Amino acid sequence: MSAMEPSDKTLLIVYHSQSGNTDRLSRAVERGGSRENAVTVKRLQAASVGKNDLVHCRTLVICSPEYFGYMAGAIKDLFDRTYEDVRPMMAGKAYAIVIAAGNDGRGALQSIERILAGFKLKKVQDPVIHCGPVTPEVISRCEELGQTLAAGMEFGIY
C-alpha cells in the first residue's frame, strides 16, 4: 500500500443503512460533492471498504445510523479491520459525519468522533444529525455538505 499522493482528490463517502435513511443521506452528500468537477466522489457501503479506499481519499464522510446509542456495527467493523494498518497514513485528512437517528444520534456521533480523533483526522464541517424520517431539508443540508467539502478540496483548503 502506498501513501496518499498529493494529487489524490477523492471524497470518500462511507455508509451503512438498514432501512434506507442513511443511504438517502449519503446519496445526497454524493450528489452535492459531484457538483465539483475536479473532485472524484466515491460512495461505498462500509462492508465493502478496504484499506486502500481509506488511504487514497483526501476527505472522508462517515454516514451512520445510530443503533443502540452507538455507530452501526458495520462502521465499527470497518474501523476494527483497518485501524492499525492505515492509521499512520490518515493523519491530517479531512472528515465530516452524517448521522440518521430515531430520537438522539449523539452516541453514534461521539463514538465515531473518538475513533477519527485516533486516526488524527481533521473535522472540517459540523456534523449533520437527523432524527426521524428523511425530509427535503436534511437532503439539502447533506447536498450542501458534500458540495462544501468538494469545493474545499478543489481549492486546496482541505
Ligand X SMILES: Cc1cc2nc3c(=O)[nH]c(=O)nc-3n(C[C@H](O)[C@H](O)[C@H](O)COP(=O)(O)O)c2cc1C
Residues 1-20 within binding reach of ligand X (CB under 6 A) = 17-20
| Least Cβ distance, residue 69 to ligand X (angstroms) | 4
| Least Cβ distance, residue 30 to ligand X (angstroms) | 15
Lay out the site mask for ligand X across 93-122 (x = CB under 6 A, - = otherwise).
-------xxxxxx-----------------
Binding window for ligand X (CB under 6 A); candidates: 2-10, 33-41, 66-74, 87-95 = 66-74
Give the per-residue SS3 of the chain: CCCCCCCCCEEEEEECCCCCHHHHHHHHHHHHHCCCCCCEEEEEEHHHCCHHHHHCCCEEEEEEEEECCEECHHHHHHHHHHHHHHHHHCCCCEEEEEEEECCCCHHHHHHHHHHHHHCCCEECCCCEEEECCCCHHHHHHHHHHHHHHHHHHHCCCC
Residues 17-36 within binding reach of ligand X (CB under 6 A) = 17-23
- Among positions 30, 36, 53, 66, the unique one binding ligand X when judged by CB under 6 A: 66
Write out the residues near ligand X by the rule CB under 6 A: 17-23, 65-69, 100-105
